[in-house]
Amino acid sequence: MKQRGYIVSACLLGRRCRYNGGDKSHSGVIRFLKRKKYLALCPELLAGWGAPRLPVEFHGGGAARVAEGSATIRDSRGRDRTRSLIRGIRKALGQADRFEAAAAILKEKSPSCGVHRVYRDGRLTRGSGLFARALRQRGLTVRSEEEFPVKRSGKS
């Protein structure tokens, strides 16, 4: 039987693809994926944005409203980045479809990957990112990195 794998936010595996040029390497996710099949993706890099870049967030509504065209994704200077992010999401979905994943582990609070919370109109609020929403619509189980325990070193 073919092993079905995981789609994972690339930043959680140490890839420096976040808006600030950093990563969000997560030991709990890395430990969980040991000996498992996975595909690391960053829809924002696939959108051609590069890193570092200006942070983006939802304006006028969440992922469902962006999908229907009544809300936008804007950067911190107010520029509409919706179309380019949707292109990046489509590229990521194409890769995810070819990979035949069963589940995803994504970065909370991201306009692409947020699982339970995203930034909208300057505030952290309940909601999903565009990529997380699209993966759920394809029937994948989508989990947040916050569901995976991080081993503490004992140092403060």
Q: Give the C-alpha separation, 124 to 7, whole Å.
A: 24
What is the mean pLDDT of the segment spanning 118-123? 98
Domain count, the chain: 1
Residue 57 within any structural domain of the chain: yes
Structural domain range at position 95: 6-147
Residue 31 lies in a domain: yes
User: Has residue 111 got a pLDDT over 60?
Assistant: yes
Q: Is 11 within a domain?
A: yes
Digit-coded pLDDT (tens) for 98-109: 998 999 999 999
Q: What is the pTM of this model?
A: 0.93
**Residue 154 lies inside a defined structural domain of this protein:** no
User: What mean pLDDT is reported for the chain?
Assistant: 95
Of 107, 103, 95, the C-alpha closest to 13 is 107
Q: Is residue 76 part of a domain?
A: yes
Q: Does residue 156 belong to any structural domain of this protein?
A: no
Decide if 155 is inside a domain: no
Residue among 79, 7, 8, 13 nearest 49 (CA)? 79
C-alpha span between 126 and 115 (Å, rounded) = 9
Nearest to 106, CA basis, from 63, 148, 151, 142: 142
Write the pLDDT tens digit of every residue in 17-44: 999 999 999 999 999 999 999 999 999 9
79 falls within a domain: yes
